[in-house]
Amino acid sequence: MVNTTNTTAANAIPASGENYSIQEGAFEGPEKLLEIWFSPSAERLRAHQNLSSSEESSDTDLETSERTNRNTRRRSYAAVEGKTGLRVIPKAVLDKMLALVKCTVLNVISNDYVDAYVLSESSMFVYPHKIILKTCGTTTLLLAVSRLLEIAKSYCGFEKVWRVFYSRKSFLFPDRQVGPHRSWEEEVAFLDGFFDAGSSYKIGKETQDQWHLYLTKPSDDVLSHSVSSVIPHHLRGVMQEHEIQSGASTPVTSDTEDLSPFGNAGYSFPDQTVEIHMTGLNQENMKKFYHDIKQTPSGSIGGQWVDKETGIDQLYPLANIDSYLFEPCGYSSNGLWEDRYFTFHVTPEDECSYASFESNIPVEKSHANMGEQSPIEALITRVLDIFDPSSFTVTYFTSHHKEHHSHSQMVRSMTLLNGYKRTNRILYEFDGYDLVYGHYAK
């Protein structure tokens, strides 16, 4: 989102706010999204941690001070200023990890459940039991995997991951990506080098609108192997890839007991994640996402101005929002509501216009005007009103729950939406949750 140009040594920690991905001509908006879960919930952390081990890591890139103090940390990392799990990892350690990705931290907000980072290129959310890293441009997101596993073991006692998700929309400028992101096949092979039993999917009819997904099954033996055992051994395994064609669907039965595969035990709603990827944005609407030295300041103040001008601040009025307006254009925001989040990222330039919205806040909790629309339909309509794209895709995950079937509402109701026609729809069932994919165009 930032349009400034800087260079830095490959292994140095970059200055705060430095952005690496600005290309001559156009910026790559579609994000890479990685989620690594070390436990199914914050409440079940201890069952997935080895709090007594004094085994020294064989990794050579941990600093001497980390090796010296590892055993002391293992006695004290249960809580730091009220935080547990991954949230005890110092920001300086996360900064070094992000340097591998080629992005930096701009702002951080926190509540009792999660720390939300606005990055120079998208966002990061750190929960006690999982980390979500989302980056755009030509960032090398997957290069963070090895380091994340190292620090999760060193600081938190996590010996093995519980589940992994990696996804992205098709790139606008795929030839500008660098390894390991030069192709989906390369990304999958890279992930297979770290994780067992991964499956990959290309979802969608048209190549330019496809959504890519890699995921692993929940691991029942989370302490049976050390993290060092999942360091790549020359990219083992055979990629399982399924290219799901237009109109294809898998029958879904969601009347099973809610087994809380995403840690939603104790909450009234199943886990839901909605992503909207928009292209061909209305350029009149996009004027609000440009920095103007005389009228619109950049940074957090400019981000707050955008929130009010666009109505983003009214989508979830009770959320705590951290927004940022870049120079000369571009916008990012994170919002926290209890243990859930939402995030926007906008690249407004006409030649590469793209915007994304993602949220795991239950759709029923948004303040979109529903009327006769279903909650998911009303939320999507409200987001579309802000950007007025020429086309968009929606992905909607929801965990299996015997009382909530909002995924079926989306399948039934969203044939025509706010002047858009659905050109593709896919309904798929995975372990513990359902996925609905839809593509729409004017």
Q: What is the DSSP string of 83-117?
A: B-GGGGS-HHHHHHHHHHHT--EEEEEE-SS-EEE
Which of 21, 120, 323, 332 is labelled catalytic? 332
345 in active site: yes
76 in active site: no
Which of 41, 120, 122, 399 is labelled catalytic? 122
**C-alpha to C-alpha distance for 29 and 67, rounded to whole angstroms:** 39
407 in active site: no
Which of 212, 277, 345, 439 is labelled catalytic? 345
28 in active site: yes
Closest CA to 145 of 131, 125, 129, 162: 131
Taking each helix axis as running N to C, give the angle between helix 91-101 and helix 145-156, from 0 to 180 degrees, rounded to the nearest 10. Answer: 170
Which of 18, 103, 136, 219 is labelled catalytic? 136
185 in active site: no
DSSP secondary-structure letter at 339?
T
Which of 18, 21, 31, 400 is labelled catalytic? 31
Q: How buried is 423 (Cβ within 10 angstroms: 0-12 exposed, 13-18 middle, 19+ buried)?
A: middle
Q: What is the DSSP string of 298-315?
A: -HHHHHHHHHHHHTGGGT
Q: How buried is 161 (Cβ within 10 angstroms: 0-12 exposed, 13-18 middle, 19+ buried)?
A: buried
351 in active site: no
Closest CA to 204 of 167, 173, 248: 248
> Which three-class secondary structure state does DSSP give residue 72?
helix
Please give the single-letter amino acid code of residue 55: E
Which of 18, 28, 150, 275 is labelled catalytic? 28
Residue that is written with structure tokens 């490959």 in the block: 10
The catalytic residues are 28, 31, 122, 136, 332, 345
